[in-house]
């Protein structure tokens, strides 16, 4: 399950897929209705690949939790996030028996199940390989962009120098 480009944006319902990064933010496409929105850098955005669930032994990445849900449900829909809190807690206990019940709230469980069902409905619950390497691939691309900008600045400076010589 590749969560590297899937975003949760504070104040916006549903999940979004990162499409293009810009200087002032990025463009994301809703997984619910397919509409594209622009999001500035001041918005509170979370990459699903960076989210973890508290357990008694430490933290478990959301990718692994969603993989366990996919295995339990045979890549089908999980229970609805609208169930009562006791049902949700019992279900989540089957998925992640050692989750920290004091630090993982029912609202967190609802989000995880809602996100899983959204991804499953879009057909994104197919590949069970964790997406850890993709953000590393994006870093060199971001470094190349500033290198191109100074090169563009040097070219006009040379032209100006040749005009002065004439």
User: Tens of pLDDT along 82-98?
Assistant: 999 999 999 999 999 99
Q: What is the torsional sign of CA 30, 69, 108, 135?
A: negative
Classify domain 51-121 by CATH number.
1.10.10.1650
Taking each helix axis as running N to C, give the angle between helix 62-72 and helix 85-95, from 0 to 180 degrees, rounded to the nearest 10: 100
Confidence of residue 75 (pLDDT cuts 50, 70, 90): confident
Which pLDDT tens digit goes with each residue over 23-58? 899 999 999 899 999 999 888 999 999 999 999 999
The residue count for the chain: 166
The predicted model scores a pTM of 0.72
Q: What is the torsional sign of CA 118, 124, 128, 133?
A: negative
> Looking at residue 140, what is its pLDDT?
40
Rg from Cα positions in the chain: 22
What is the distance between the alpha carbons of residues 159 and 140, in angstroms, rounded to a whole number? Answer: 30
Return the residue matching tokens 């969603």.
66
For residue 140, what are its two tokens? 């060199």
Assess contact for 64 and 21: CB atoms under 8 A. Answer: no
């Amino acid at each position: 399950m590749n969560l590297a480009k899937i975003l949760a944006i504070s104040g916006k319902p549903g999940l979004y897929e990162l499409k293009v990064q810009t200087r002032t933010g990025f463009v994301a496409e809703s997984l619910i209705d397919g509409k594209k929105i622009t999001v500035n850098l001041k918005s509170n955005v979370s990459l699903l690949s960076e989210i973890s669930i508290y357990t008694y032994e430490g933290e478990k990445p959301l990718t692994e939790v969603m993989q366990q849900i996919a295995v339990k449900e045979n890549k089908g829909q999980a229970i609805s996030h609208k169930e009562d809190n006791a049902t949700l807690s019992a279900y989540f206990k089957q998925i992640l028996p050692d989750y920290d019940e004091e630090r993982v709230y029912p609202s967190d469980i609802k989000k995880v199940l809602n996100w899983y069902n959204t991804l499953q409905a879009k057909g994104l619950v197919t590949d069970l390989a964790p997406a850890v390497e993709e953000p590393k691939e994006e870093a060199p691309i971001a470094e190349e962009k500033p290198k191109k900008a100074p090169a563009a600045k040097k070219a006009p400076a040379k032209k100006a120098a040749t005009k002065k010589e004439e």
